[in-house]
Structure formats: structure tokens, C-alpha cells
Chains A and B, each alone.
Chain A
């Protein structure tokens, strides 16, 4: 028996690590990696809820999260490649001119 509170704690810490990575990284690819980490923390929480209540709905939601994350990564990586091709950089400090 896995206590569900501990799963929640692991998922929370994982999400916080991803959020910290999102804030302290400057390479745009590693920012995308941190977003992946946060999505997986949310997935862990969904699956724990599914196991707690004995329903399959949480697992299905986690499955959809994975699909949408794959799409997000595809488009994000295309944008990163485009950025690298036009500016020769992936540092977010060098694309400050994007802000409005």
C-alpha cells in the first residue's frame, strides 16, 4: 500500500523543480525540458488519483496530457530551430526584443 500523501508530495516537489528550472534556465530548449518535467509531475498526480478512486479516467487524462505534450514539443522545437537559424542563438536573453 502506497500512502497517497507521499505520492502527492513527490509530485509537488517534482513540479517545483520543473518550475525552478523554467525560471533559472536561459537556453530555450532546456526551458522546454523543464516544462516536460512539470507535465510529468501532473501526470503522476493524475495516476495517483486514478489509483485512489479506482477509476480509469485519471489514466486516460494522463494519456491525453502525453499526446498534447508531444504536439507542444514538436511545435516548440520547430520554433527553436527557426530561432537558431535566424539569430544563431538559443539564449532567451538575446531575444528580449520579442517583448511588446
Chain B
């Protein structure tokens, strides 16, 4: 059952990720990114990372993507893209093809590798997660809060109009 859910949500995530980069209307691309993030949260839950799954839902799908939606709505019709064909020269594709072949070789080797087949799924409680976070990672945690504050100040001072 767990394996089936894993493949189901991976399929949904990959499909909506492809939609994110191919749809030409920005709002639709954004909504399919939200679908991808929801299924990624389900994958995190399946991998026993409940806290990260919920934070992903709240922070990404709840806050960040709504911010994106506001900015896209602000632009209106100007945000629509040129069609895919006229966007770049086709002669550049050989490099992408080369990289794709290398990546495919890597994937096939990974499928055949035996060392990766076993997976010990642990079930750690959220209290243990918090204990590790606030004991071993206390300084990065505080620095992250400082970084958030700096980001907010930078955004406000960038967007503020000078003459008002």
C-alpha cells in the first residue's frame, strides 16, 4: 500500500512538474506547481517526515505561492510568454541531448545498483525532531530568523517608491 501510494504521488508530482515548465499561461503553471507541492508533501509523509510535510504545505503552498499569485495577477496580460518554438535556437539542443543521455545512463545504473535497495524507514517522533533542532542546530536556527528579517527589509526597501 505504501509503495503504491509512493508511485502514485511521484507520478502526480512528475506530471505536474512537466506542466509547470510547459504551460504558457503563468497562472496555470503556478497552480500546477501547487499540485506538485501537495504531492511532494504526501511523499514526505510517506518517508516519515511529518513536520517537514506540514511546513511544506503551510510555507510553500500557503504563503510563497500565494505571493507568486499576487505578483502574476499584478502583471496581467503582460506576463504571458512567447511560444516555445521561437524562444531559442534549435541548434543549442545538442548539448541538452548530450546531458540527457548522460543522465539516463546514470538512472539506469541506479536502477541496477543493489546497494540502494534496502531502506530502513524510521519513525521518529516530532518531539525528537524538535530536540535535535534546538540542541544541535540552535545557532543556524537563530541565523535563519535573522535572514528572514533581512529578506523582508530588503524586499520592502526595494519595492518602496522613492518620492512618497
Residues of A within 8 A of B (CB): 1-10, 12-14, 16-18, 20-21, 23-27, 29-30, 32-34, 36-37, 40, 43-44, 47-48, 50-54, 56-57, 59-60, 62-64, 66-75, 77-82, 84, 88-91
What chain A residues lie within 8 Å of B52 (beta carbons)? 43, 47, 59, 62-63, 66
- Give chain B interface residues in 78-101, CB to chain A under 8 Å: 78-79, 81-82, 84, 87-88, 96, 100
What chain A residues lie within 8 Å of B116 (beta carbons)? 3-5, 8
Q: Report A36 CB to chain B, min CB distance, Å.
A: 7
- Give chain B interface residues in 119-143, CB to chain A under 8 Å: 119-122, 124, 128-129, 132-133, 136-137, 140
Q: How large is the interface on B (under 10, 10 to 19, 20 to 34, 35 or more residues)?
A: 35 or more
B20 interface neighbour in A2, A33, A44, A53, Cβ under 8 Å: A33
Known contacts A14-B14, A30-B81, A54-B124, then 9 further A-B pairs from the complex at CB < 8 Å, ordered by chain A residue? A1-B118, A12-B106, A16-B103, A52-B120, A54-B122, A63-B51, A75-B151, A82-B159, A90-B79
Whether B107 lies near A33 (C-beta < 8 A) is no
What chain B residues lie within 8 Å of A77 (beta carbons)? 67-68, 71, 155
Please name the residue on chain A nearest to B10 by beta carbon: A10
Give the docked Cα–Cα distance between A79 and B158 (Å).
7
What chain B residues lie within 8 Å of A88 (beta carbons)? 78
Residues of B within 8 A of A (CB): 2-3, 6-7, 10, 13-14, 17-18, 20-21, 26, 29-30, 33, 36-37, 40, 43-44, 46-49, 51-52, 55-56, 59-60, 63-64, 67-68, 71-72, 74-75, 78-79, 81-82, 84, 87-88, 96, 100, 103, 106-107, 110-111, 113, 116-122, 124, 128-129, 132-133, 136-137, 140, 144, 147-148, 150-152, 154-155, 158-159
What chain B residues lie within 8 Å of A44 (beta carbons)? 40, 43-44
Give the docked Cα–Cα distance between A88 and B76 (Å).
11
Give the docked Cα–Cα distance between A40 and B41 (Å).
10
A37 interface neighbour in B20, B47, B56, B100, Cβ under 8 Å: B20
Please name the residue on chain A nearest to B103 by beta carbon: A16
Give the docked Cα–Cα distance between A30 and B147 (Å).
24
